Amino acid sequence: MRASVPPLRRAALTLAAAAAFAALSATAAQAQTQSLPELQALATREQPALLKTLQQLVEIESGSSDRAGLDKIAGVIAQRLRDLGAQVELIDPHKTIAAPSSDAGDGPAKVGQMVKAVFKGGAANGRKVMLIAHMDTVYQRGGLQQQPFRVEGNRAYGLGIADDKQGVATIIHLLTLLKAANFSDYGQITVLINGDEEIGSPGAHATITQLGGEHDAVLSFEGGGGPNGPDTLRLATSGIASVDLKVKGRSSHAGAAPEKGVNALEEMSFQILQLRDLSDPKNGKQLHWTLAKAGSVRNAIPAEAVAQGDARADRMADFDGMEAELQKRIQKKLLPESEVSVAFRRGRPPLQATDASRALGVRVKALADEQKLDLVVRDRPTGGGTDAAYAALSTQAPVIEGMGVRGFGAHSSDSEYVVVDAIAPKLLLATRLVMALGSGKTP
């Protein structure tokens, strides 16, 4: 739950945070401007190494239900971060959560570990910055054969490369650049890479929330825009919920005695049709039916039918209204003898823009302009969800999403890629932002 802060103090904290991040130390900003050509050269030289890291990560299949693959990739990431000087630990969610399950209630029996790495800086009063990404994908084992890593022209293809292995690689090489630049003017940098994001982070969300409250800024490295630009920074994302519609009817012979049955499939179809108009995209509310199943054999009236829907909202309160309307409408039935029920499960919360995140967005935009990178800052959700929303639950500090590389085709079977010439500019921007955050002094 969000930490309780008195209204007046909360307002003061928010305004103070906004002022602080809107006016990061002029000295730090000047120093970064002076070092921009050197950092640009470092980022350009680092791009081939980042591509090699992407290949290494992509070639480890790590679907959310593939614990063996997740353990393997976690080990690789942990070692890379140790090599850079971090104190690293692997966190098993099952040691603190009895039975974490997905935001749809259908997660694997054992979710993936988290890789937590802590870098201690040399600045006594430096800020603490948290960097997050995820190593799990939506794909089943064997998919790598259909979508291997390859570079074709300006595109690097691979299973999970855009969502979110580019985020993991960008963080690793951001830290590599900081080391190459001999930069340690920060208090602490914490990296958290989880293995259950694609199913709602049931095992990781509590850790993300706790750590979010312990840092002065949180940067999330999901993809940073589409293939044709511009780069996109997001200050707000949608909340996610799942809807389970269940219908119980009565089975009978489909040929000899269909009239003795109660067709659950027909009732479910009726329900979906009368529940199809609950979306209100202008206000950020969406409900789409995505899965359905009924019956077991062709020649029997189906006694049961189930359907699942994906719900999105900009505010958690909007889910309350959606659930109430669902419960109201299912009272109307096509077949009076059928039994209809709805279960509404709230999952990942929305990330909402704050004064502090908007102020940091202004700062990021200024850094992008300095390096002539086309960047758009969005403070309205567009339907996607993010683990950054968990980090925002317990902090007044800025939390932003989209620090990763531009790409396309997330969750697709044969066309997921990142834009190669977008790698170095975004790596440079992320590195400079961490420098500014780490060394900036609050007025």
What are the tens digits of pLDDT across the range 210-244?
999 999 999 999 999 999 999 999 999 999 999 99
Give catalytic residue positions. Answer: 136, 197
Tens digits of per-residue pLDDT, 323-368? 999 999 999 999 999 999 999 999 999 999 999 999 999 999 999 9
Exposed / middle / buried, residue 71 (Cβ in 10 Å: 0-12, 13-18, 19+): middle
Q: Inter-axis angle of helices 166-180 and 36-58, to 10 degrees?
A: 140
The CATH class for the domain spanning 240-346 reads alpha beta
**Over 80: is that where the pLDDT of 309 sits?**
yes
Q: Can you give the residue ranges of every domain in the chain? A: 7-237+351-439, 240-346
| Per-residue pLDDT, 322 | 96
**Over 80: is that where the pLDDT of 138 sits?**
yes
Calpha distance 148→170 (Å, rounded): 20
Query: Which pLDDT band holds residue 15 (cuts at 50, 70, 90)?
Result: low
CA-closest candidate to residue 136, choices 212, 190, 68, 210:
68
Query: Which pLDDT band holds residue 96 (cuts at 50, 70, 90)?
Result: low
* 93, 403, 163, 159: CA torsion to nearest 10: -120
Q: Which helix (H) or strand (E) holds 312?
A: strand 304-313
Edge-first strand order for the sheet with 407-408 is 150-152, 155-157, 417-419, 407-408
Calpha distance 281→102 (Å, rounded): 25
| Per-residue pLDDT, 382 | 84
| Per-residue pLDDT, 101 | 53
Residues paired with residue 21 on neighbouring β-strands, in sequence order: none
Q: What are phi and psi of 258, to 5 degrees?
A: -65, -30
User: Three-state DSSP class for 16?
Assistant: helix
Q: Under 8 Å CB-to-CB from 339, ≥6 apart: which residues?
A: 247, 248, 249
Six token digits for residue 69: 């693959």
**Over 90: is that where the pLDDT of 427 sits?**
yes
Mean pLDDT is lowest, of 15-29, 59-73, 168-182, 253-267, for 15-29
**Over 60: is that where the pLDDT of 103 sits?**
no
| Per-residue pLDDT, 27 | 38
Calpha distance 422→229 (Å, rounded): 9
| Per-residue pLDDT, 80 | 98
Kindly state the average pLDDT of the residues 121-133. Answer: 93
| Per-residue pLDDT, 397 | 97
| Per-residue pLDDT, 3 | 43
Confirm if 429 and 177 have CB atoms less than 8 A apart.
Answer: no
Calpha distance 215→158 (Å, rounded): 33
Calpha distance 352→372 (Å, rounded): 28
Confirm if 101 and 204 have CB atoms less than 8 A apart.
Answer: no
| Per-residue pLDDT, 4 | 44
Q: Can 7-237+351-439 and 240-346 be said to share one CATH topology?
A: no
Kindly state the average pLDDT of the residues 142-169. Answer: 95
Calpha distance 301→299 (Å, rounded): 7
| Per-residue pLDDT, 97 | 62
| Per-residue pLDDT, 33 | 41
> What is 164-227 written as a DSSP string?
IIHHHHHHHHHHHHHHHTT---SSEEEEEEES-GGGT-TTTHHHHHHHHTTSSEEEE-S--S-T
Distance of CA 160 to the CA centre of its chain: 13
Q: What are phi and psi of 306, to 5 degrees?
A: -135, 150
| Per-residue pLDDT, 87 | 98
**Over 60: is that where the pLDDT of 102 sits?**
no
Six token digits for residue 403: 């620090």
Confirm if 406 and 224 have CB atoms less than 8 A apart.
Answer: yes
Per-residue CA distances from 40 to 155, 307, 431 (Å): 21, 51, 10
| Per-residue pLDDT, 108 | 66
Kindly state the average pLDDT of the residues 10-38. Answer: 52
Strand ranges (DSSP E) for 323-402? 339-346, 375-378, 399-401
Q: CATH assignment of 7-237+351-439?
A: 3.40.630.10
Give the global pTM. Answer: 0.85
Quick one: what percent of the chain has pLDDT higher than 70?
A: 88
Confirm if 118 and 200 have CB atoms less than 8 A apart.
Answer: no
Quick one: what percent of the chain has pLDDT higher than 90?
A: 82
**Over 90: is that where the pLDDT of 29 sits?**
no
Average pLDDT of the chain, as a whole number: 90
Type of residue numbered 56: Q
> What is 112-159 written as a DSSP string?
PPEEEEEEE-S-TT--EEEEEEE--BSPPTTGGGTS--EEETTEEE-T
Calpha distance 305→339 (Å, rounded): 10
Query: Which residue has better confidence, 442 or 413?
Result: 413
